[in-house]
Amino acid sequence: MKAFTDPSRMLSLELGRSAMISDDEYEIDLPSPTDTGDKTRDIVRTQSTPAQSPLVHTVQVIRGISKLLKSVREPIIPLLTLQSFDLLFDDCMELFPAHHQVNAHGPLDPHQIPPLIYLQNARLILHRHNLSTKIAPSLRSRVADECSNIAKQTAGFLARCMLDGSGLSSHSQGGHEAWRGPFISAANAFLCTHVWRCSLFLCLRAEYEDALVCVRASAAMGSARPVNVACGKYLEFFVQKLLSKLDEGVNPVDADEEILALVSGDLQGSADSAWVWKDDNSGSPGSRSTHFSAVNATALTAHEDAYGWSNWDGILDILTRLRQKQRQRQQQTPQQHQLRIPLTVPSQVQQQSVHLASPISPGGTETPLSGTSRIRIADIM
Amino acid sequence: MDKRLELPELPPKHVADELLYLYRISFHATFPLLDWTNFSQEYESVYRQRSLREVPQVWGALLFAVFACGTLPRYLRDGQDYSEKARKLLDLSVDDLTLDHVRTAVLTSVFLVELNRKSAGWTWLGIAVRMGQDIGLHVSNVKGSFVDQVVDRPVWWTLYVCDRFVVALI
């Protein structure tokens, strides 16, 4: 029953809170794939196809990654540890049905994706943990690549939730979006924040197609959860900042420490993983301060403000235009398909007030232009 | 039911039906906390009498906790009101804890977390875990019949998932 050694200290993945349930303190069978909690149905179950409860996959994922919690305490997770956990994640994925695999196709029931999202988020959190000024810029870029790859997988799952029964995307049907109802009923705060984290990396890596999928999902969830509104505000701010940096000629943009801090999102809101607040000269963790609560307060909007923002369409519009220009650029110069296109900040975006104060002080380093030629696109809007 | 306690008014049946439906297709689909057959029978009985007086107080708390979570899929504003009523009905000072106490506490935790009230959600999760341990939910392999395990197992594992992952990762 107990497949994994319980670490002596169990820490929650991001909040620094300790788990209450120890793996050596319970004796209960793992959930059955057909567990419904309904004793009448379970006792009289026939030979017919049983219902598949997502609970069993969820528990398998959670138990499988328990060891992750201890690793995240370290300032930098060693590469070998990351690789061993990636193998562990692959093993967890094999427990899922074929239809739930990353490379599968066809519509996906959004009610089935929670355990997939738990796994995806654990992978993202693990790799994102190393997005720090403590490692070389080239390695940071590799970390951002890995996070972006994980985010693309999540976007893949979300895109499949947006397919209709015939496998067509809602956007190929003139806007008919029957996927929204089931998707919203399956949504929760956890999904909101994971999709937000994915959107940040996809925007950073100019993966606009996948970023659009994520933002559409976020837009569908809208004000359903207060945290999603805060995520939207943050994402709007981040996209503006990213465009601004690109327009200034920052290249590569992921070497800019301000962008690095912003794309790491709520990593900077955790006492254990944040580095932006620490004294760079001392090399030792800084003292805890009220900054943490301030970051959490601004990054996660109070409930009273939860319904005061709704500009998902604005973000979608920007990303759509970025994708359009990217495709045009790719058609003109196919060998530069990895080019990140700087743009002037759209006028309507400039007019919108940014409600979320930047949680960090300015201090990103400007990097010299690389030898790769760049296109400046003015008046795109 | 403690008759000295002022019982909350039940929402209209059509509203309650919708909330139960939304709860069932959202949260219950992933975490089957309730013995749905039993719960829905009790629910219909309560609504025939239009009163919570004939059911245990904790069952009334559970009902309103379910209502609260049922508002989430359509972000209906009455959720907080339902959750407060559930908390008022949940007596934390009793010694004869039941599975319904655990269910109510974990649903309260989930609701608060979904509203981004993470600290309050974390506190209620602690209450739920302690209640579950107190009634021996974590040692169902040692005690209890097959029926108990079928009903207890999803409740325990829901606690486990919330404890290890959900509250921590949002």
pLDDT in tens, B119-148: 898 899 999 999 999 988 877 666 665 556
Assign A175 to helix, strand or coil: coil
> How close is the nearest chain B Cα to the Cα of A304, in Å?
11
Q: Is pLDDT larger for residue A335 or for residue A380?
A: A335
Mean residue pLDDT across chain B: 87
Cβ-defined contacts of B51-55 (< 8 Å, 24+): B51/B7, B51/B10, B52/B1, B52/B7, B52/B8, B52/B10, B53/B1, B53/B3, B53/B7, B54/B1, B55/B1
DSSP assignment of A305-368:
GTTS---HHHHHHHHHHHHHHHHHHHHH-GGGTTPPPPBPPPHHHHHS---SPPSS-S-PPP--
Q: In the prediction, which pLDDT does A342 show? A: 43
* Structure tokens given for A92: 């967890």
- Residue A75, pLDDT > 90, answer no
Q: What is the pLDDT of residues A25-38, one digit of tens each?
A: 777 777 776 666 66
Cβ-based burial of A321 (10 A; exposed 0-12, middle 13-18, buried ≥19):
middle
Q: In the prediction, which pLDDT does A373 show? A: 33
B36, A36: Cβ pair inside 8 Å? yes
* Structure tokens given for A242: 């990213």
Evaluate the omega torsion of the peptide bond into residue B12 and state whether it is cis, within 30 degrees of 0.
Answer: no
Q: Would you call A45 an interface residue with chain B, using a CB distance cutoff of 8 Å?
A: no
Window 319-378 of A: residues touching B by CB (8 A cutoff) are none
Mean pLDDT along residues A270-288 = 54
Q: In the prediction, which pLDDT does A46 show? A: 40
- The contacts of residue A170 (CB under 8 Å, 6+ apart) are A162, A163, A164, A176, A177, A178, A179
Q: What kind and span of H or E run contains A219?
A: helix A208-221
For residues B145 and A352, what is the distance between their CA atoms, to the nearest angstrom?
Answer: 62
Q: What is the DSSP letter of A46?
A: -
Rg for chain B (alpha carbons), in Å?
A: 15
For residues A20 and B140, what is the distance between their CA atoms, to the nearest angstrom?
Answer: 18
Q: In the prediction, which pLDDT does A361 show? A: 30
Residue A331, Ramachandran bin (φ over 0: left; ψ between -120 and 50: alpha; else beta): alpha
pLDDT bucket at A272, cuts 50 / 70 / 90: low
A123: nearest CA in chain B? B169
Mean pLDDT along residues B65-94 = 91
Q: In the prediction, which pLDDT does A73 show? A: 66
- Residue A363, pLDDT > 60, answer no
- Residue A254, pLDDT > 80, answer yes
- Residue B67, pLDDT > 80, answer yes
Most confident among A58-72, A237-251, A302-316, B59-73 (mean pLDDT): B59-73
B157, A223: Cβ pair inside 8 Å? no
CA angle A201, A206, A208 (to 5 degrees): 95
Q: Would you call B141 an interface residue with chain A, using a CB distance cutoff of 8 Å?
A: yes
A31, B36: Cβ pair inside 8 Å? no
Q: In the prediction, which pLDDT does A45 show? A: 43
For residues A240 and A242, what is the distance between their CA atoms, to the nearest angstrom?
Answer: 5
CA angle A46, B41, B36 (to 5 degrees): 50
Q: In the prediction, which pLDDT does A14 show? A: 45
Whether B42 and B55 have beta carbons less than 8 Å apart is answered as yes
Q: In the prediction, which pLDDT does A33 show? A: 65
Contacting residues of A for B29, CB less than 8 Å apart: 54, 111, 186
> How close is the nearest chain B Cα to the Cα of A281, in Å?
31
Q: Is pLDDT larger for residue A53 or for residue B73?
A: B73
Mean pLDDT along residues A210-218 = 97
Task: Of A253-257, B46-50, B56-60, B162-166, give the lowest mean pLDDT range.
Answer: B162-166
Phi and psi dihedrals of A314, rounded to 5? -65, -45
A55, B32: Cβ pair inside 8 Å? yes
Mean pLDDT along residues A267-274 = 69
Q: Is pLDDT larger for residue A145 or for residue B31?
A: A145
| Percent of chain A's residues with pLDDT above 70 | 61
- Residue B155, pLDDT > 80, answer yes
For residues A339 and A319, what is the distance between their CA atoms, to the nearest angstrom?
Answer: 15
For residues A227 and A302, what is the distance between their CA atoms, to the nearest angstrom?
Answer: 9
* Structure tokens given for A65: 């990654």
Q: In the prediction, which pLDDT does A35 show? A: 63
| Percent of chain B's residues with pLDDT above 90 | 56
pLDDT bucket at A185, cuts 50 / 70 / 90: confident
pTM for this one?
0.79
Q: Would you call B83 an interface residue with chain A, using a CB distance cutoff of 8 Å?
A: no
Q: Is pLDDT larger for residue A179 or for residue A337?
A: A179
Residue B9, Ramachandran bin (φ over 0: left; ψ between -120 and 50: alpha; else beta): beta
A185, B25: Cβ pair inside 8 Å? yes
Q: Is pLDDT larger for residue B111 or for residue A354?
A: B111
Q: In the prediction, which pLDDT does A107 show? A: 93
For residues A110 and A113, what is the distance between their CA atoms, to the nearest angstrom?
Answer: 5
For residues A126 and A114, what is the distance between their CA atoms, to the nearest angstrom?
Answer: 18
Assign A377 to helix, strand or coil: strand
Cβ-based burial of A8 (10 A; exposed 0-12, middle 13-18, buried ≥19):
exposed
Contacting residues of B for A12, CB less than 8 Å apart: 164, 167-169
